[in-house]
Amino acid sequence: MPQVLQVSDIKGIIHNHSTWSDGINTIEELATDLIKNGFEYFVISDHSKTAAYANGLSEEKILQQHQQVDELNKKLAPFKIFKSIESDILNDGSLDYSDEVLASFDLVIASVHSNLYMKEDKAMQRLIKAIENPYTTILGHPTGRLLLSRNGYPIDHQKS
């Protein structure tokens, strides 16, 4: 049996929310704690504007957040904070910002947060369209399930 991954092998954390949306720590608090624990980077991916219940970010807030991330990256180098967003996959499979805004991130996480009760063909049509978006980097929580409380929508993991 080869050596399995150790916690110390993990160099960065992806998909984090801060006080900019519904997280409980500021970006700087998250970054300084990760530095203390030996991490090299993290990705800030607050909720997007459609997730109003989670204080999702308007285009204006995104600009302000990017300024703050630029300042923190200078202050905390060589630690690196990557700019991201958890962009909602809308009912038709499109993301909830313009291409121009999406292009301003280092990476984009696309997630379904609304109309979760779908049949497989509808779910697949939505997810495939989101995956095919050239700005999508990562599909967030692919089936929308909540452990012990919601099964999530059915999807065809093999479909190409």
Q: Name the site residues for Zn ion (rule: CB under 5 A).
A: 111
CB of 38 to Zn ion, least distance (A): 27
Over its C-alpha atoms, the chain yields an Rg (Å, rounded) of 17
How far apart CA 47 and CA 106 sit, in angstroms, is 15
CB of 149 to Zn ion, least distance (A): 15
CB of 69 to Zn ion, least distance (A): 20
Which residues, in sequence order, are CB contacts of 87 under 8 Å at separation 6+? 48, 95, 96, 97, 102, 108, 109, 110, 111, 136
CB of 129 to Zn ion, least distance (A): 18
Give the nearer residue to Zn ion in terms of CB position, either 84 or 111: 111
Give the nearer residue to Zn ion in terms of CB position, either 73 or 137: 137
Give the nearer residue to Zn ion in terms of CB position, either 111 or 133: 111
**Chain position whose Cβ is nearest to Zn ion:** 111
CB of 126 to Zn ion, least distance (A): 15
Give the nearer residue to Zn ion in terms of CB position, either 14 or 35: 14
Give the nearer residue to Zn ion in terms of CB position, either 17 or 72: 17
